[in-house]
Amino acid sequence: MAAQTFPKALSVGRVPARHLPVVATFALFVLTFGAGSVSFDNFASGQVFTNLFIDNAHLIVLAVGMTFVILTGGIDLSVGSVLALSTMIAAAGVKAGWPVPLVVVVVLLTGSVLGLLMGLMIHKFDVQPFIVTLAGMFLARGLCFVISIESISIKDKGYRALGMDRIALGGGVSITNNVLIAVAVLVAAMYVLHLTRFGRTVYALGGSEPSARLMGLKVGFTKVGVYVVSGFCSSLAGLVFSFYTASGYGLHAVGMELEAIAAVVIGGTLLAGGAGYVLGSVVGALVLGTIQTIISFDGTLNSWWTKIVIGALLLAFIVLHRLIVRRSSA
């Protein structure tokens, strides 16, 4: 069944319908950050704002990879487990005395190969992405505990410096290398999705796979490719997370695949595929980070309130998507 997309001609006020979910996400981010600024002293400081990027850099990278998959109408449930596996490989490799560049290459190759295998199974055997990536989730999580059932601390000073070193922005505000990695991934993803044939095929595939085939587009290559991208981003997110925590652990990122999906949906990408923007997914991740920061500043609320609010936001944005699609079909 073909996915619904937003016609360019449709608009709500002066905002084209295809941009409305992203605008709504940005407005939500401004409102939540503004609410925190009004409620708590020092919340509006520059460092608190940059900490949103520092603390959520791994989620931003995950959400970027997930956006590619969801734009085609697929899903990837393995990303959290691949992230954890990447931290374990990195920590075990560093502990074994591997050079840091070799560790990085092995981690990125592992995630990419897992994504390639899942993509090939989905394409060649026409298996539902949910089932294939669910199997990938269990496989990656199990491999974590083959490496070690305990947390592995990363003590190499050079590796730890990659995550701990601060880059001053002035005014007492600083960021880490993880933020630069997340921004680089975002820029690269925006370029690929909007300025390359592969990106245009991703949108076409999500809009209607039969139509994409009739146009002579490389449907198979693209369908496999988005899972390679997701696997690569998951392993890169694992490296970022290991820089952040200086450890590898098989129970890292449990349930984070759902947070990545939530960030993408809240960011305005249709679960049916064919419509959405990777920038919206990043803003969606920042919305989730802002909610967590507000709860941390409050100090009286249980962290599970984050899940409650995320659930409510997901329902609200799914309803928004449906309303826009119905209006576009009318």
Using one digit for the tens of pLDDT, what is the confidence trace for 176-223? 999 999 999 999 999 999 999 999 999 999 988 999 999 989 999 999
Q: Minimal CA–CA distance to 110: which of 130, 81, 75?
A: 81
pTM of the model: 0.92
Alpha-carbon distances of 102 from 92, 147, 216, 242, 246, rounded to whole Å: 12, 18, 39, 15, 17
Phi/psi of residue 247, each to 5°?
-160, 165
Q: Provide the b/e sequence for 38-75 (b: ≥16 CB within 10 Å).
A: eebeebeeeebbbbbbbbbbbbbbbbbbbbbbbbbbbb
Q: Which residue has the tokens 């609010």?
A: 309
User: Which of 76 and 13 is assigned the larger pLDDT?
Assistant: 76
Domain boundaries, the chain: 11-329
Q: Minimal CA–CA distance to 140: which of 88, 91, 82, 92?
A: 82
Tokens representing residue 136 in the block: 């990938």
The span from the CA of 33 to the CA of 53, in Å, is 13
Q: Which residues lie below 8 Å from residue 75, measured CB to CB, with a gap of 6+?
A: 69, 129, 130, 133, 261, 271
Residue 274 · residue 207 · CB < 8 Å:
yes
The span from the CA of 124 to the CA of 221, in Å, is 11
Tokens representing residue 76 in the block: 């990837």
**Region 109-119 average pLDDT:** 97
Tokens representing residue 291 in the block: 């909610």
Confidence of residue 163 (pLDDT cuts 50, 70, 90): confident
Mean pLDDT of the chain: 90
- pLDDT per position as a tens digit, 264-291: 999 989 888 888 999 999 999 999 999 9
Segment holding 170, helix H or strand E: strand 166-170
Assign 173 to helix, strand or coil: strand
| Distance in Å from the first CA to the final CA of the chain | 19
Complete DSSP assignment for 211-233? HHHHTT--HHHHHHHHHHHHHHH
The span from the CA of 103 to the CA of 141, in Å, is 19
pLDDT at 116 over 50: yes
Which class does domain 11-329 fall in? Answer: mainly alpha
